[in-house]
A and B are shown apart, each in its own frame.
Chain A
């Protein structure tokens, strides 16, 4: 592998890893704070991608569509938490698994009813459509760099939100002792609603950012969900820092595996995850 190809693949891997982090961050945040394993998290990623595709087709503006889709996703998150998830806080994990599997069915079906089963694509916004020359005969698309920067910005914002704001303080407190937070007069119910809605919005934003880079197809949510599980487990369930490291590792490893050993590339990340769990049964950044 030439040095040039190596660096192109490394950047590809990091960029993919950053996107994975954005999806996985919502999953791990909801699990860490609320103890809920949301199997429908991948569906929210799909919803984001389909919404932005639809609004771009209607309005023509990517920025406006992206903002609109993210706001709708936030509303959807609040609705789902209020109507469904809230009823299951006192039940066991298996009931939550069952409920969220039911949600996958519903969202996949709504997607097929509303938008059909054809694959779609979103054009890269004009301002970002160029490519940065990399070396003499290779270049890197501007949109991918932009997407990576957005992911880094959101990661930083999330870090700031959790570690520096009042809401973040409550989130961390809710993580370690729910009863105590309630006893201090905090409305834990609305805190949970906010956290769940943020989780849904993070997944949808990932779908929005990914839309111009990937094709929008039925079932896109499930494939990304399983990869996110690997990310979250490698990093340690509930740890946002762990999800960040895990996502970059999984992104780089799977990108290089696809080039170096194509026949095994699909298996590699699972082998990696099993190895990590054998050494650290709670993931790299276990709490």
Chain B
């Protein structure tokens, strides 16, 4: 069984059942379908971060860099007024992003601990200001995507990305694939060594494993998943701008992952939904939603030691 915990199975069963049905009830309300799509895309991003921080032990505060790159690479690589094939270009973009992540990872992984947090922050800030100050990439306004790609495989087309419901299922598919990919990786031999190197780097090294290489490959995997989320977000809203890459974006994702329960992966979905749900609620209640959101975050840190997933597990596991 790929999902070991009862809580995990129950949550995922409920989540996917509801998620599959949502567009059926909200077909008429494309705003809500769009909103939930965004939450699903964010969940992919937060899961990739949860994998890096909670499982590999790489606490990064610059993960939004790859979220932004996913969007920017699409606009840079595709012709402006021609619909390209989504799958082909997603492959190019993620491949290129993986190469960039490999180079960046080789640099940042020379540091560790608090310095790793800071160097990842610095690199993402650098990229942020690069795009912010650039003329060719639209500066602060960013770039627009005029043509959404088509999604045919071998001439068969199931999804029309201009249709909010179709886009919704594409995002849900991304959640499922990301979840399964991370779970399979973690259960593999590779994943065991990665976790061992988080728990005890010296011993893992003594066993003859090159933990730098294992961390680097994990960093590339996490960054590539983040880029896929960024690509989907850019396509959903039809633009990309430097705001994708702010440290606040990285920080918010970290908040969602910790709220959900660090390292649990399914907790990342839970954390994202809770955070975005609270945000939506507070924003509609009062202009001073930040006060409520901040207080809620503080309360949750003080009361929930292992995040929401930890709390659920305490209730459901025997």
Contacts and interface: CB of A to CB of B under 8 A. Distances in A.
B262 to A, nearest CB: 6
- Pick the most buried of A103, A106, A237, A270: most chain B CB atoms within 10 A of its CB: A270
A145 interface: no
Contact of B115 (A95, A113, A237): A237
A189 interface: no
A39 B125 CA distance: 16
A63 to B, nearest CB: 32
B115 A282 contact: yes
Nearest to B289: A109
Contact of B294 (A87, A93, A103, A274): A103
Contacts of B53: 94
Nearest to B117: A37
Given A98-B255, A270-B123, A113 B110 contact: no
Interface stretch (A129-137, A157-165, A167-175, A260-268): A260-268
A264 B134 CA distance: 9
Contacts of B110: 277-278, 281
Nearest to B297: A102
Interface stretch (A11-19, A191-199, A225-233): A225-233
Interface residues of B, number: 41
A95 to B, nearest CB: 5
Given A93-B59, A105-B293, A106-B291, A99 B298 contact: yes
A77 interface: no
Nearest to B133: A263
Nearest to B122: A270
Contacts, number: 117
A273 interface: yes
Main secondary structure of the interface of A (DSSP, over half): helix
Contact of B301 (A88, A93, A104): A88
A273 B108 CA distance: 12
B255 A101 contact: yes
A263 B247 CA distance: 21
Contacts of A109: 288-291, 294
Nearest to B121: A229
A155 B219 CA distance: 40
A281 B262 CA distance: 27
A58 interface: no
B129 A267 contact: yes
Contacts of B192: none
Interface in B112-139: 112, 114-115, 117-119, 121-123, 125-126, 129-130, 132-133
Contacts of B133: 263-264, 266-267
Interface string A31-48: 100000101000000000
A110 interface: yes
A9 interface: no
A112 interface: yes
Nearest to A266: B129
Contacts of A112: 288, 290
Contacts of A266: 129, 132-133
Contacts of A93: 59, 114
A104 B59 contact: no
Interface in A248-287: 263-264, 266-267, 270-271, 273-274, 277-278, 281-283
Contacts of A98: 254-255, 258-259, 297, 301
B158 to A, nearest CB: 40
Q: Is the interface of B mostly helix, strand, loop or mixed?
A: helix
Among A88, A97, A263, max chain B CB count under 10 A is at: A97
Interface in B71-129: 107, 110-112, 114-115, 117-119, 121-123, 125-126, 129
B305 interface: yes
Contacts of A277: 110-111, 115, 118-119, 122
B115 A283 contact: yes
A235 to B, nearest CB: 12
Nearest to B258: A98
A267 B291 contact: no
B1 interface: no
Contact of A113 (B129, B258, B291): B291
Contacts of B34: none
Contacts of A230: 118, 122
A42 to B, nearest CB: 12
B301 A274 contact: no
A117 to B, nearest CB: 11
Interface of A: 31, 37, 39, 84, 87-88, 91, 93-95, 97-99, 101-110, 112-113, 222, 226, 229-230, 233, 237, 263-264, 266-267, 270-271, 273-274, 277-278, 281-283
Given A98-B297, A267-B133, 12 more contacts: A87-B302, A93-B114, A94-B59, A95-B301, A102-B294, A102-B296, A112-B288, A233-B122, A237-B114, A267-B130, A277-B110, A278-B107
In the A-B complex, list the 5 residue pairs whose CB atoms are closest, starting with the nearest.
A105-B294, A102-B297, A106-B294, A109-B290, A109-B291
Interface of B: 53, 59, 107, 110-112, 114-115, 117-119, 121-123, 125-126, 129-130, 132-133, 247-248, 251, 254-255, 258-259, 262, 288-291, 293-298, 301-302, 305
30 contacts: A93-B114, A98-B254, A99-B297, A99-B302, A101-B254, A105-B290, A105-B294, A106-B294, A107-B294, A109-B291, A226-B121, A226-B247, A229-B118, A230-B118, A233-B115, A233-B119, A264-B133, A266-B132, A267-B126, A267-B129, A270-B122, A270-B126, A270-B129, A273-B119, A274-B119, A277-B110, A277-B115, A278-B110, A281-B111, A283-B115
